[in-house]
Amino acid sequence: MAYGFCYSPAEPLAESRAIAELMERIALLEAQAGRGGHPSRADAEALLGGSPDPSSRIIVSEALELYVKRIAFDDQYNKSPAQRRSWEKTKRTSITYFIQQMGDVPFSDITREIALEYRDWWMEKMQPQSDGSAPVAPNTANRHIGNIRSLYERYFRHIGVSDVENPFRDIYFSGKTEMKRASFSNDWVRHRILVPGLFEGLRLELRVIIYLLIETGARLSELVNLRPEDIRLSARVPHIAIRPEKNRELKTDDSRRDIPLVGVAGIAMRACPEGFPYYYDRSTLVSANLIKAFRQRKLLPTSDHVIYSFRHSFEDRMLEGGLDYGLRCALMGHKNNRPEYGMGGSLEYRQAELLKIAHPFEAGVFGGG
């Protein structure tokens, strides 16, 4: 590169179409050596293709750093700081698994045999474990294998090498896992959670978020990151608008939606009309605080219940309440597999439908500040 050339192995340089460039490289070496001198061995090997291609000797951890800092720049561009940290943590976890099992080896040393050996290691992790720990789910193994496969592919694409066969190609587990999808029953919510004074002592913003989770079905991260302009309490139909931001992505394009505020959510939202600035982009902290509060109050029916269970409950209530499939998709932020016509119904229509399933509650259930 110091001489103005990219590295090329000797064989391609010796081909007829590259002979002019080869002669130019030789002339540079002669000029550098001076009359009667000899060019340095290192320069000659580099310019004439005698050195190993440095790009092929990059080790896995080095490729990961390049990937995070440069190659995947566009993947992170619209993410918030918290989203970027989460994205990077996932990638690093996957690559660490590979390095721990197979070594921090150069990419050029990763053969199909090594890739299959790594697959076998995950296959063992998917079997019943002797220590009693839960087996790894197929989708978990696929995610981690997919991340090393993607790193390999995108690194070589980045350096302009297109003829390298990915050793991790077609390595995938097709098995399905029975996912536990816990949701809170209507009776549990009404008699155990919608209890006046139950959350006294809990920070106001956290209390508001609990009631929004119950009656909107929104994801916790969507509620935590509401901006003042997204909270439309003075509209004809009070509602929240789930929108992406320049520096924060939504989970999917279909997540963009408007959700009327009905039941206890309408009262609670008025206590935080500007949103939750203290918790903005800190949904992990909110989740930890809420799960602690629920455990202390014994509000989790089983070990499978989590704060996200409110979203499952909301979906169940809509189904059991006979709400139209398209409306359910629109309110949940799910992709509608039916042909799409219109905008999923007016806010007035959405409000009327949600009022059919809103939980009854006592006037003092939300005590304000």
Specify whether the CB–CB gap between 188 and 195 falls below 8 A: no
pLDDT tens digits for range 320-353: 999 999 999 999 988 876 655 455 579 999 999 9
* Chain mean pLDDT for the chain: 87
pLDDT band at residue 123 using 50, 70 and 90 as cut-offs: very high
CATH 3.30.200.20 fits 186-355, yes or no: no
pTM of the entire structure? Answer: 0.69
Relative to beta strand 257-260, strand 239-242 is antiparallel
Report the percentage of the chain scoring pLDDT > 90.
61
Span 232-254, average pLDDT: 85
Residues of the chain with CATH 1.10.443.10: 186-355
User: What pLDDT is recorded for position 22?
Assistant: 79
Classify the phi-psi angles of 263: left when phi > 0, otherwise alpha if psi is within -120 to 50, otherwise beta. Answer: left
pLDDT band at residue 272 using 50, 70 and 90 as cut-offs: very high
pLDDT band at residue 31 using 50, 70 and 90 as cut-offs: confident
> What 3-state class would DSSP assign to 303?
coil
